[in-house]
Amino acid sequence: MLGDNKAMASFSVDSIEEAEEFYGGTLGVKVEGDSGALWLHLTDGYDVLIYAKPDHVPASYTILNFVVEDIDEAVDRLLERGVRLLRYETLGTDERGIVRGPEREIAWFVDPAGNNLSVAQFKTPFKQRGDS
């Protein structure tokens, strides 16, 4: 029924202003304000809508994953910008906060609203549907 329609992802925050500073300033994502909401313009034409919600509750799962070429470089850059990595002892995070596995390496952090995000490096080329 909806298979031929475009779709978009969205999530809530408690402050659009803090989200704009974090995503645009700290993470360097292209952002655009729109009637009290915020658009993240990611690569390949992928856009995510962030909206303010007065009774916002942070997502307890990863809402957005940034695929990176070099996990260690990405972690270094996040730390330089004051981003604190999450540690999941049950997943075996190393001293840097990275879970290193045979297929991918991943590190988690939160936005100012407490939503979980990650940077991930795939050992084999990461392909989305339609990539050749």
CATH of the domain at 36: 3.10.180.10
Asked whether residue 132 is assigned to any structural domain, the reply reads no
Count of domains in the chain?
1
Asked whether residue 2 is assigned to any structural domain, the reply reads no
Asked whether residue 116 is assigned to any structural domain, the reply reads yes
pLDDT digit of tens for each residue in the chain (132 aa)?
888 888 889 999 999 999 999 999 999 999 999 888 999 999 888 899 999 999 999 998 999 999 999 999 999 999 999 999 999 888 888 889 999 999 999 999 999 999 999 999 998 876 655 555
Query: How do 47-52 and 9-13 pair as beta strands?
Result: parallel
Please give the structure tokens belonging to residue 21: 């500073």
Q: What is the domain extent for residue 27?
A: 9-122
Asked whether residue 128 is assigned to any structural domain, the reply reads no
